[in-house]
Structure 1
Amino acid sequence: MNIYLAILGFATMIVITVVLLKKKMSILLAFTIIPLVAGLLAILITGGSPLLIGKWIEKGIGKTYSITLMMMFSLPYFMLISDTGLFDDIVKGIMRRVKVSAPIVCVLTVVVACICELDGSITSVFLITVPLMLPLFEKFHVDKRILPFLISVAILIMCNTPWNPKILRAATLMGNKQGAPAHLFIKLLPIQLFMLVLLIAMAVYFGLRARKGNKEEVTVSNEELLSQFKDTELTKHNMFWWNLLLTAFLITVLIAIPSIPQYFVFAFGLVVALAMNFHDLDQQGTLLKKYASTLFPVAPAVLLSGVVVGVMQESGMLNAMVKALMAIVPSAIGPYFYIIIALFSTPLMLLFTNDTWFYALMPLVAAFSAQYSVPIDVVIATLFMNFGSMISVIAQPQLYIATDLTGITIDEHIKFSFWKLWGINIVVVIFGVATGVFLP
């Protein structure tokens, strides 16, 4: 073991984490400059050629470019579909058929948030769900702190879709494995379904508790509910079934035919959806520019994360760090190290951003666990949810939107949600181990 490489590797992780936590540097700059400096220092330590760093970067970017391409087409596709009103029409269809009560309001919050998160934008989930459901929470006297909590967990659940930015980040850690996002989606599907059932049960409990505390019966008509939905110039109610069928077709192809590049599946979907819904070419161009702005800095950050991974792996830093950990962590704990990290992921996320969790911690834990024959997809699945991100404004600054719209402080959200999130975290890990999803 080269102890100097190990120290350099840990120092690189710490520096990236600290500068991002303290907002001293942008993600793009951190993922470009810091690994470059670390790579040059690694070359000095090992006595290699400075020209090697170009090859390391090329190998790293090779692991992330296809995922970045998929993100460039999948996110605009779902934003377009959302703008046409597909998700609104689904929610309205549900609301027409239910009699509203406090438990139903809480369950509807989960359903609406899950549907809104299909487009992969956490900001839009809060901007749509909170204003829609808050008047109902107030009318039925449901604790307002429950609203951002339920939405936050729903977002975590729906991050497991093959086109979601979070799962695309995780997929980059699997190298050039074909269909990595779909593979992770299928692996995590039992966890996703379990969490959905668990969250709905919690929503019902919160609603029943609120109804029990109400002194008089409260009623809301379905017309009052539906009146909160407003059409825009992009709404296409007449295209509902066509858009739904196209989306179902794309998801089916994505999962059933992994030999087709996933970025091409959504490229095809995007151009077809644009042509179907908006015949004017100028309008299509305007919409593409609008959606393109949402890709920055997420897509470039995913691409440049390959620089971090490439330099850490190819320079020998990651291997040296793993050997150092193996010398420290008792061999009896080694095979379960990733599970221990997962059990404490809620408080641990207060020390990380989403990017440093995926690109600094997870590669190290995955490489360490590989020494005990734990496959990388098992480690990624186990550490994927990082529940604590939904109480960390550093990892998820959109939480300020949720609390401001709800009318509570961020401190109130953290105090209300922390122990509940950690409890769900532990229950989910136990379920994953018991079902074998989180085991080799």
Structure 2
Amino acid sequence: MLTILGFAMIATFLVLIMLKKMSPIAALVLIPALFCVFVGKGAKLGDYVIDGVTGLAPTAAMLMFAIVYFGVMIDVGLFDPIVRGILRFCKADPLRIVVGTAVLAAIVSLDGDGSTTFMITVSAMYPLYKRLKMSLVVMTGVAAMANGVMNTLPWGGPTARAATALKVDASDIFVPMIPALATGLLFVLVLSYVLGRRERTRLGVLTLDEVLVEEQETVLVGAGAGTGTQAGGGAGAGTDAAPEEPEDDGFQGLDPHRATLRPRLYWFNALLTVTLLTAMIMEWLPIPVLFLLGAALALTVNFPHMPDQKARIAAHAENVLNVSGMVFAAAVFTGVLQGTGMVDHMADWLVNNIPDGMGPHMALVTGVLSIPLTYFMSNDGFYFGILPVLAEAGQAHGVSSLEIARASIVGQPLHMSSPLVPAVYVLVGMAKVEFGDHTRFVVKWAALTSLVVLGAAALFGII
């Protein structure tokens, strides 16, 4: 019964948000609460929720202050040269911009943190998509898939979990998988090319001069609305008017006259960001603490006056509330899934229904199962709860634990868009994309990417 209710709860959630019958936050809270009552454990709902919130509280804190930090970096112009450089390289060509999104997300993913990857990628690319009226779900989908492939790095999480669960070396898992993972990343780039061609066909290609003229016209219209046509007064008023009606809720793109720019502090901000990312990779302090300190320092140095600090916090409050709200709502979903035992029964049912004849092919079975299982449950649940069972079944048929471990990481391109991954809410929140729209677009392509990685691993004899 718990198995059926578990699958029913997940299916109900996905259907409702994809059909936009409920908001993701409401669905993440109300649906598991209802199913908790169906299971007969409604009296323990409070305990399950508190356990879930306790586990995700550090993540929520990290996301809150990380959004403030990167929001301030956008405001002061840290990413403006990157945006302009990409624009000049892409020549306002949607095809190049989509491919550039995949490349940028893959490169930034080297830090091993999905939330940071999405913040930087969206910060740099969002203005381009908005100015050219490109599809934002293409941006979120491509970024999520590129990050999902790169998330298999030994310091990214899944590989380390697999190594710990099966007591093998992480490098023995990752290094042999490099050809298969490279094939998966190449597939994401090819897919980006195809999606970019669609966008180019739909929108056409503007010249760089046309885009820059549109930017200048936007600035001049905003300035002229409050100052008339006086040349001298228009420039000054344009600078003052920008923060009053910031376009796109803080994403002011290439506007070179916004009042929040701090060109004299550019290198300080760049050094602060590099130091912050280095400290995160080297694990000098917990990530939530690093972003808390970084946000406080960035606000204090760039906006020393209290009214300016309050204005910057207010400008990014919507993103902070959306993302942190999603994380705490997801805590209800995960808390009920784990607390009621539904996730354990679902996993046992899947494992027990593997045909005996598939025993010698347990590595391939593990790879296939990793695609849906890492989408419907957390990485911790899969790697520490399910993977050891799969490995034991494989060993009984002569399949090594290393092969099982390698196969277990192929589902990560889809996992990064799971409703149980806090980072995906950063992605859709900053990109102002409905989670249901993102899910509807990305699931088929991400699942195909995972299958490509699995097929390449089998073709190369890795598993």
Calculate the TM-score normalised by the size of structure 1.
0.62
**Are 2:102 and 2:189, in contact at CA under 8 Å, matched by a contact in 1?**
no
User: Structure 1 pair 61/420, CA: closer, same or farther in 2 (3 Å)?
Assistant: closer
Q: Which position in structure 1 is the counterpart of 2:225?
A: none
| Structure 2 counterpart SS, 1:386 | helix
Q: Which position in structure 2 is the counterpart of 1:383?
A: 411
**Are 2:280 and 2:290, in contact at CA under 8 Å, matched by a contact in 1?**
yes
The CA distance in 1 between the partners of 2:144 and 2:461, in whole Å, is 24
User: Structure 1 pair 122/380, CA: closer, same or farther in 2 (3 Å)?
Assistant: farther
Q: Which position in structure 2 is the counterpart of 1:253?
A: 279
Of 290, 306, 310, 1:265 maps to 290
Identity of aligned residues (%): 22
Deviation of the 1:71 alpha carbon? 0.8
The question of 1:14 aligning with 2:39 is answered no
Deviation of the 1:69 alpha carbon? 1.1
**Are 2:411 and 2:447, in contact at CA under 8 Å, matched by a contact in 1?**
no
Deviation of the 1:328 alpha carbon? 2.0
Q: Which position in structure 2 is the counterpart of 1:70?
A: 62
**Are 2:101 and 2:142, in contact at CA under 8 Å, matched by a contact in 1?**
no
The CA distance in 1 between the partners of 2:92 and 2:9, in whole Å, is 53
Alignment: residue pair count: 368
Q: Which position in structure 2 is the counterpart of 1:279?
A: 304
User: Structure 1 pair 121/86, CA: closer, same or farther in 2 (3 Å)?
Assistant: closer
Deviation of the 1:246 alpha carbon? 1.1
| Structure 1 counterpart SS, 2:21 | coil
User: Structure 1 pair 278/119, CA: closer, same or farther in 2 (3 Å)?
Assistant: farther
**Are 1:254 and 1:265, in contact at CA under 8 Å, matched by a contact in 2?**
yes
The CA distance in 1 between the partners of 2:20 and 2:380, in whole Å, is 21
Structural mapping, 1:5-404, within 5 Å: 5-43=2-40, 51-93=43-85, 106-107=95-96, 110-111=99-100, 118=117, 120=119, 127-130=126-129, 152-154=141-143, 156-158=145-147, 229-231=254-256, 232-257=258-283, 260-331=285-356, 332=358, 335-341=363-369, 357-359=375-377, 367-373=385-391, 381-386=409-414
The CA distance in 2 between the partners of 1:377 and 1:272, in whole Å, is 42
User: Structure 1 pair 123/273, CA: closer, same or farther in 2 (3 Å)?
Assistant: closer
Q: Deviations over 1:360-386 (max 9, x none)?
A: 899579744442138999788532322
Q: Which position in structure 1 is the counterpart of 2:109?
A: none
Whichever residue aligns with residue 54 of structure 1, its letter is: G
The CA distance in 1 between the partners of 2:33 and 2:59, in whole Å, is 22
Q: Which position in structure 1 is the counterpart of 2:237?
A: none
**Are 1:321 and 1:364, in contact at CA under 8 Å, matched by a contact in 2?**
no
The CA distance in 1 between the partners of 2:389 and 2:190, in whole Å, is 39
The CA distance in 1 between the partners of 2:82 and 2:428, in whole Å, is 28
Whichever residue aligns with residue 64 of structure 1, its letter is: L
| Structure 2 counterpart SS, 1:296 | helix
| Structure 2 counterpart SS, 1:24 | coil
Whichever residue aligns with residue 21 of structure 2, its letter is: K
Q: Deviations over 1:373-418 (max 9, x none)?
A: 389997885323229979xxxx9989x999xxxxxxx9xx98xx99
User: Structure 1 pair 32/240, CA: closer, same or farther in 2 (3 Å)?
Assistant: same
The CA distance in 1 between the partners of 2:385 and 2:266, in whole Å, is 46
**Are 1:87 and 1:115, in contact at CA under 8 Å, matched by a contact in 2?**
no
User: Structure 1 pair 62/279, CA: closer, same or farther in 2 (3 Å)?
Assistant: same
Whichever residue aligns with residue 272 of structure 1, its letter is: L
Whichever residue aligns with residue 130 of structure 1, its letter is: Y
User: Which range moved further: 70-79 or 13-22?
Assistant: 13-22
| Structure 1 counterpart SS, 2:268 | helix
Whichever residue aligns with residue 295 of structure 2, its letter is: L
**Are 2:70 and 2:120, in contact at CA under 8 Å, matched by a contact in 1?**
no
User: Structure 1 pair 367/88, CA: closer, same or farther in 2 (3 Å)?
Assistant: same
**Over aligned residues, Cα RMSD in angstroms?**
5.4
The CA distance in 1 between the partners of 2:141 and 2:75, in whole Å, is 22
Q: Deviations over 1:53-89 (max 9, x none)?
A: 4333322222211111111111221222122222221
User: Structure 1 pair 154/54, CA: closer, same or farther in 2 (3 Å)?
Assistant: closer
**Are 1:31 and 1:307, in contact at CA under 8 Å, matched by a contact in 2?**
yes
User: Structure 1 pair 368/80, CA: closer, same or farther in 2 (3 Å)?
Assistant: same
Deviation of the 1:265 alpha carbon? 0.6
**Are 2:64 and 2:320, in contact at CA under 8 Å, matched by a contact in 1?**
yes
Deviation of the 1:254 alpha carbon? 0.7
**Are 1:150 and 1:199, in contact at CA under 8 Å, matched by a contact in 2?**
no
Whichever residue aligns with residue 270 of structure 1, its letter is: A
User: Which range moved further: 334-343 or 361-370?
Assistant: 361-370
The CA distance in 1 between the partners of 2:376 and 2:138, in whole Å, is 23
Calculate the TM-score normalised by the size of structure 2.
0.60
**Are 1:382 and 1:429, in contact at CA under 8 Å, matched by a contact in 2?**
yes
User: Which range moved further: 10-19 or 364-373?
Assistant: 364-373
**Are 1:122 and 1:155, in contact at CA under 8 Å, matched by a contact in 2?**
no
The CA distance in 1 between the partners of 2:355 and 2:261, in whole Å, is 59
Q: Which runs of 5+ in 2 are unaligned?
A: 106-115, 165-169, 198-204, 216-253, 392-400, 419-424
**Are 2:83 and 2:125, in contact at CA under 8 Å, matched by a contact in 1?**
no
The CA distance in 2 between the partners of 1:99 and 1:20, in whole Å, is 34
Deviation of the 1:36 alpha carbon? 2.6
